[in-house]
Amino acid sequence: HMPTAELRALDAAHHMHPFTDAAALEKKGARVITRADGVRLWDSEGTEILDGMAGLWCVNIGYGRTELADAAARQMRELPYYNTFFQTTHVPAIALAARIAELAPGDLNHVFFAGSGSEANDTNLRMVRHYWAVKGKPEKTVFISRKNAYHGSSMGSASLGGMQAMHSQGGLPLPGIVHIDQPYWYGEGGDMTPAEFGLARARQLEEKILELGEDRVAAFIAEPIQGAGGVIIPPETYWPEIQRICDKYEILLVADEVICGFGRTGHWFGSQHFGIRPHIMTIAKGLSSGYQPIGGSVVCDEVAETLSHGEFYHGYTYSGHPVAAAVALENLRILEEEDILGHVNRVAAPHLAEAWASLADHPLVGEAVSVGLLGAVALTPDKATRAKFAAEPGTAGFVTRERCFANNLVMRHVGDRMVISPPLIITPGDIDLLVARARTALDEAHAILRTDGLLRAAA
C-alpha cells in the first residue's frame, strides 16, 4: 500500500469518519489499520495493537477466521444476491432464520432481517406500531426508551437512543419517543442502595406509562446491559420490576441485543442473563462477528401471527442478504462447535472479572465492574463521593482513551467511563496484557490530569 503519510492525506481530503471531529483528527492523523488476527490489529507501520473492543463490540469469534471468508466466496459464486420480497426466498436466509429461532429463548421464532442494528430498530418502530393497529389499538404508538441509550444512527433509531449530543443535532427525537433515566447506580444512585435505586429507576417506566396513558404506550426498548452508554449493569432489582410493569400494562418489551447477544454476557442473549422475556429482540454485530453487515428483529409467535394477515409495507434491499446470511451461519457454527460460550463462562469471564476488578485500587478508578466479557471502569476525581469530573474537553475519559491507544490498546470511553468488550476467544494471558496496558494508561492519564489541573470534580 501507499506510504502512511499519503494514506492519511487522502483520508483527510475525502473520507468523512463517523462520530469524529475531522479537524482534530487531521491534526493527529488517523491510524491506518491494515491487518488483524485473533485479538490483534496491525497498523500501516507494523505496530501491533490489542483490540479490547472487538472492533465495535462485534468481532466475537476474533479476526482471521478463513472459514467465514470461504463461506462468503462460495455463496458469492453460487448466488451473490437475491431478495425475499413477494414470492421468493433462498437457502441462506431460510437456514439462518431457522438457526436463530433455535437459539433464541421462548417463542421468539421469527426473524425479519435487516442490514444493521439501526435498520433493525427502525423495523421495530414500524412493526410495533403496525402490530397495535392490526390489534385494533392504533393509538398505541409511543415508544419509551432510556436516556444515554444507543440504538443506532438513523432518524428512527437515533430517536430511540437517548444520547443528548446526538439529539442536539438535527432536532431529535422524532415525536412519539420519550425517555426515562438509566439505571446507573454508581453515577446517579446518590445515597440509595443499588437495590432501592434499581426499583426506583424501573418505576419511572410505570410513572411514564401512567402519565401518557397505557392506551398510548406501544413498547419499552432497552439493552439488557447498556453498552455504548458506558456498560451500565443494572442493579438486580431492575429487570424483574421492568418485566412486571410491561406485563401489567400490556406494553411490548423490545430487548436490544445488538451488543449483549451471541455470547457477550456468557449467554446466547443478554435477556437470559436477567431472565427477561422480550417480545422482540434486536440483533446485529455478533450475529456475523462483524464479518458481514447483517441485523434483524427476532419476533415472538403472537406478534408474528398478528402481522401475518395482510402486507407489512417494509423491507430492505439487503434484508437477509445471501452472502451475509451464509457468513452469519458459519459464525454461529463456530460459536457452537468450538463451545466459545463455554470458554467465556469457564475461562475468560472469571479471569477478566478478577483481573479487571484489581483496577479498583487505582487512584482514578471509582468502580471496576464486568459481566461476561463486558467491562467498565468509572473514573472519578474523588472515590469517597463518587464525584464526576468537570466536563471540560480533554478531560479524564478522553485523556485515558488516548493513553490506551498510545499504549497499543483499544478501549472506548463514554464520558468518564472506560469500557471494554474484547473478542470472546481472548486468552487469560491476553486478558492480563489488556489489564496491564489499561493500568499503564490510567497511570499516565492520572499524571497528565494532575499536571493540567484537571483532577477537579464537577460543581
Q: Which residues bind ligand PMP (CB under 6 A)?
A: 56, 116-118, 121, 150-152, 223, 227-228, 256, 258-259, 284, 295
Greatest distance between any 2 Cα atoms in the chain:
67
DSSP line for 321-362: -HHHHHHHHHHHHHHHHTTHHHHIIIIIHHHHHHHHHGGGGS
Please say which residue, 419 or 433, places its beta carbon nearer to ligand PMP. 419
The set of cell numbers assigned to 118 is 439501526
Closer of 183 and 295 to ligand PMP (Cβ): 295
Helices (H) and strands (E) in the chain, counts: 18, 15
Cell of 344: 467465556
Smallest distance from the beta carbon of 293 to ligand PMP, in angstroms?
7
Pairing of strands 280-283, 48-51: unpaired
CB of 420 to ligand PMP, least distance (A): 14
Task: Please give the grid coordinates belonging to residue 149.
Answer: 441509550
Shortest distance (Å) from residue 153 CB to ligand PMP? 6
Nearer to ligand PMP, 202 or 225 (CB): 225
Which residue pairs, CB below 8 angstroms and at least 24 apart, start in 160-164?
A: 160/121, 160/125, 160/221, 162/229, 163/229
CB of 109 to ligand PMP, least distance (A): 22
Q: In the 8-state DSSP scheme, what is residue 85? A: S
Q: Which is nearer to ligand PMP, 232 or 425 (CB)?
A: 232
Of 335, 383, 336, 392, which is closest to residue 360 (Cα–Cα)? 383
Chain position whose Cβ is nearest to ligand PMP: 117
Query: Which lies closer to ligand PMP via its Cβ, residue 181 or residue 339?
Result: 181
Q: How far is the CB of 205 from ligand PMP (least distance, A)?
A: 18
Angle in degrees, CA 247, 250, 254, rounded to 5? 75
The rounded distance, in Å, linking the Cα atoms of 106 and 158 is 29
- Beta pairing class for 280-283 and 252-256: parallel
Of 150 and 186, which has the nearer Cβ to ligand PMP?
A: 150
Adjacent-strand bridge partners of 33 = 43
- To the nearest whole angstrom, how small is the minimum distance from the Cβ of residue 156 to ligand PMP? 11
Pick 148 or 380: Cβ nearer ligand PMP: 148
Provide, rounded to whole angstroms, the least separation between the CB of residue 327 and ligand PMP: 15
